[in-house]
Chains A and B, each alone.
Chain A
């Protein structure tokens, strides 16, 4: 599988009056061509900062302390502003959370969709408008031809998000970054937008990085999942591996705290406490204080990634060969059983074979 983007050892600090906040702490991941990678995490886990650094959209007080982001053989972090502008909206584009604020209320939507074309491509205005119409049709704006001159306020929230997506894909970007694109939408609209994104991915063969905190959405859209906590990726693997065979106690906690249809118990599982303050990140595993499975080593040293399968890695000391055998929570064991059953019935394929046996993440 071809890697289209590779983030290596990324470290980003924010200068605040209280000191330097270590927002991203040694993050490594890559994006394969044509896949959807979901980055899951709570607010403050660093998922948005990570993708903003790819777009060169970091806040003024952010400082890249180390690392590289390789895209097409170039390190994005070392590019000048002008070079990044050439990539932004052309090779890599982004969809933001709020469709209300991502559109210019004073500009007709046809013009807004055509704008990236006029900036990046050497096309005539007429051609650009024709393309804009085509793309609006593609994202499901009915009667796009007659609505090109309409203004954003004349569309509903769901339609506006479709227009935002149209702007993002009008240049057929190689990478589409979606930062919580459905969080501000109602469930029915959310389902439509997710379906649309899946459909578009097939049509224009783009790779997607999908940022969200909603595990339900991840299950529906992702091929691979990376779970972030306190500025680090703590587990990554294929979507089936993460949902049916999670290894990190934080992933367990996340999956467990969502009520499912058959949750009838009296209490939901809740991860106790709150995420750590990244002003002084803990020495060991940042999740240790909230982890019911914590061991002494968790307070002393950051766990490295342990291999679960060729595509599945988790950073928890529980996977160390010397660690005592732990039973995951009941709901997680149920998931594992369910997974075995589905595989046995041939309804899903074993993840090891999922990627065609290609070894990535070998480093």
Chain B
């Protein structure tokens, strides 16, 4: 949670500019999964992307890793536009960016042994020359994610959800990526296992200087793991700031309603909780909104006129502290 006061000086690893991702574009059943979003991810940070189902958060992750081709807009990885990567450089791109998936049951091929799952990237990128080298590397990765060597010859169905998720992490790490998109990696896991996986992700990040895009709907976990958080709703970014700012000083009504709905393991708090409802209609009043910087580093989706109001609200928080 290293909150750098001057984020602009840090190196941008990912730059998303006016990304739009429409499905069935131009047809009657057109879906605007992502509707003009822009954000940057700095090297070494964890960027949390929060939203409810259908908000477009997973689509954003998949567009960045080029599982989808964007309808319009630009995604830059390490300075190069990913849609312009030539075929021969594509393999290198695939090595540098990796993904951890949500469903530990669907993300491992049931017909493959664990060692072949983990070594898939090693084989594709020819990172090992001999079988002995391959086994040694697989064992190294198993150690890294806290699994034992004799798990290598087992099949996925023999493992629990948390163990499977760790196998998925080992597979992603095998190619030594710089950037990892974690698409709801813990939402299918039990509480006690979630902490294991989150700790593992943090440890690896420190050890290998990784950058994460952490996609989730669980705000408390996202707050814990992220340096900065973007809140997404209906394909648009509502609010973007440091984790503490979004959590403690939310400005956009949607963020406020989301935060007020998070259940906490504290009966006294729960009894006195006041839920804030969010009225969707303010998004559809026809006015053009874009992300505006209210206070340094804190962006909110707003019209030019609304900025002053948000600034006043931010001012109030500061007085309150």
Contact = CB atoms under 8 A, between A and B. Distances in A.
Given A259-B221, A260-B220, A268-B224, A191 B192 contact: no
Contact of B195 (A195, A244, A270, A274): A270
A243 B267 contact: yes
A214 B161 CA distance: 17
Nearest to A238: B267
A259 B224 contact: yes
A104 B263 CA distance: 31
B243 to A, nearest CB: 10
Interface string A270-308: 111011000000000000000000000000000000000
Contacts of B219: 187
A1 interface: no
Contacts of A338: 268
Nearest to B224: A259
Interface residues of B, number: 42
Contacts of B143: none
Interface string B253-277: 0000110111111111111010100
A218 interface: yes
B265 A219 contact: yes
Contacts of A268: 195, 198-199, 224
A347 B221 CA distance: 28
A76 B271 CA distance: 35
A213 interface: yes
A253 interface: yes
B265 A263 contact: no
A352 to B, nearest CB: 16
Contacts of B273: 220
B217 interface: yes
B133 interface: no
B195 A191 contact: no
A347 B218 CA distance: 29
Contact of B265 (A190, A194, A260, A342): A260
Contact of B161 (A43, A191, A244, A264): A43
B261 A187 contact: yes
A194 B264 CA distance: 13
A22 to B, nearest CB: 18
Contacts of B267: 219-220, 239-240, 243-244, 348
A140 B275 CA distance: 16
Nearest to B277: A188
A219 B195 contact: no
Contacts of B266: 219, 243, 260
B220 A259 contact: yes
Question: Which of A190, A263, A270 has the most chain B CB atoms inside 10 A of its CB?
Answer: A270
B220 A188 contact: no
Interface in B200-233: 202, 217-221, 223-224
Contacts of A243: 265-267
Interface string B159-193: 01111000000000000000000000000001111
A217 B263 contact: yes
A164 interface: no
A186 interface: yes
Nearest to B222: A259
B312 interface: no
A190 B191 contact: no
Nearest to A269: B195
Contacts of B275: 191-192, 195
B247 interface: yes
Given A213-B191, A219-B263, A270 B220 contact: no
A219 B270 contact: yes
B52 interface: yes
A215 interface: yes
Nearest to A220: B270
A240 B221 CA distance: 24
Interface string B276-294: 0010000000000000000
Nearest to B221: A259
Contacts of B270: 216, 219-220
A217 to B, nearest CB: 5
Nearest to B247: A261
A254 interface: yes
Interface string A198-239: 000000000000000111111110000000000000000001
A274 B264 contact: no
A186 B53 contact: yes
A191 B163 CA distance: 31
Contacts of A239: 267
Contact of B192 (A188, A253, A263): A253
Given A215-B265, A243-B267, A274-B162, A257 B224 contact: no
A126 interface: no
A82 interface: no
A190 B196 contact: no
Contacts of A195: 275
Given A214-B191, A268-B198, A347 B265 contact: no
Interface of A: 42-43, 157, 186-192, 194-195, 213-220, 239-240, 243-244, 253-255, 257-261, 263-264, 266-272, 274-275, 338, 342, 347-348
Given A187-B218, A258-B265, 5 more contacts: A190-B261, A190-B263, A216-B270, A270-B195, A348-B268
29 contacts: A43-B161, A157-B53, A187-B217, A188-B257, A188-B261, A188-B278, A189-B52, A191-B275, A192-B275, A216-B265, A218-B265, A219-B263, A219-B267, A239-B267, A240-B267, A257-B192, A260-B266, A261-B220, A261-B223, A261-B247, A267-B202, A268-B195, A268-B198, A268-B199, A270-B192, A270-B195, A270-B198, A274-B162, A348-B267
Closest 7 interchain pairs by CB? A216-B263, A270-B195, A257-B195, A186-B52, A220-B270, A42-B190, A259-B224
